[in-house]
Amino acid sequence: MPITNRKLLPPTITADAAHPTWVLARTLRATPDFSDVLLDYCVTMTQPSGAAWPSNKVFVQKLRYLTCYILIGSYARWRRGEGDPPTLAALQRAAVASPRQIASFIKDLRHGNYIVAEQQESDRRHYHLRPTAALINEVARSPLAFLAASERLQPSSPPLHTAISASTERMCDWLGRSVDCYQDGDSLFAPFRTIVQLTERECGYPLMTAVLGTHYATPSGVAAGLPSLTYRALSERFQVSRQHIGNMLKEAEREGWFSVAPGGHLTEISEDLVAEFETWAAGQMAHYRLLAEMVCDCGGAAPGMMLG
């Protein structure tokens, strides 16, 4: 099911075409192995996280993921001496969900040992929220996979993925600088409307990567590691009900994104969805690649950042 119509940038981000991120993104997307690299990315993003706590319920939905992402950014900025302590109240002001939703979600994250509340040294009556290594690693799954993908297309020496993933402190600083870019002006997420809509659903993004991975695997007949697109296989892989999988697949067919026939056969996929995903993915690869180069060049995070 090959698709050859590749517009390198959609009209929604034409104004940012000269930005270094999109200059690099165009180069990466034009690389002959781009589709093969995206297949490997999709396989990675459909794998179980390995976390003991049910992280699928926590991280693979847009509002919850963004809350964790913004918290990491606030913590990293504060540790660099460039912002206020990452308190619950500050997170409630910055995040996109309601204050009550944020408070409930943070309570769950603390229960799962993804966040620790620590007394502030300057005022022992107040507490700030510290993301643990477990939270950093979960939020970094997709960014690290995109960084690895970029290095397959343009190898670096020494490998950036190795340098970033070897240090939780450096990874926190890396993600934190990504949050700064996101909050300064979102050209990496908001313009991609279908991806945004899919990620609003519980496990919508992993489901999309399973479908796209199947699409990329079809020409070569290689699908190792990808789940079958049956209700049963998808619900077991992503730890949601078959009814929820069915509802998402029916919505995708109504919207004209893709169609999965009984037995898990991908019968149709929108050229626009493939083009949007490829542009978005190239932008993610370039974004995290450039930030990794910056963080590794400046030595990463300040000494003493403890994220155990």
Does residue 308 carry a pLDDT above 60?
no
Closest among 118, 102, 108, 116 to 66, alpha carbons compared: 102
pLDDT on residue 7: 52
Does residue 232 carry a pLDDT above 90?
yes
Residue 10 pLDDT grade (very low, low, confident, very high; cuts 50, 70, 90): low
Residue 48 pLDDT grade (very low, low, confident, very high; cuts 50, 70, 90): confident
Mean predicted confidence (pLDDT) in 81-92: 91
- Amino acid identity of residue 293, one-letter, is E
pLDDT on residue 300: 45
Does residue 18 carry a pLDDT above 50?
yes
Domain 59-138 CATH (choose: 3.90.1170.50, 3.40.50.300, 1.10.10.10, 3.40.640.10): 1.10.10.10
Closest among 273, 214, 215, 202 to 243, alpha carbons compared: 202
Q: What is the pLDDT of residues 251-277, one digit of tens each?
A: 999 999 999 999 999 999 999 999 999
This prediction has a pTM of 0.89
- Amino acid identity of residue 177, one-letter, is R
Q: What is the pLDDT of residues 140-195, one digit of tens each?
A: 999 999 999 999 999 998 899 999 999 999 999 999 999 999 888 778 888 899 99
For the chain, what are the domain ranges? Answer: 19-49+140-295, 59-138
Does residue 307 carry a pLDDT above 80?
no
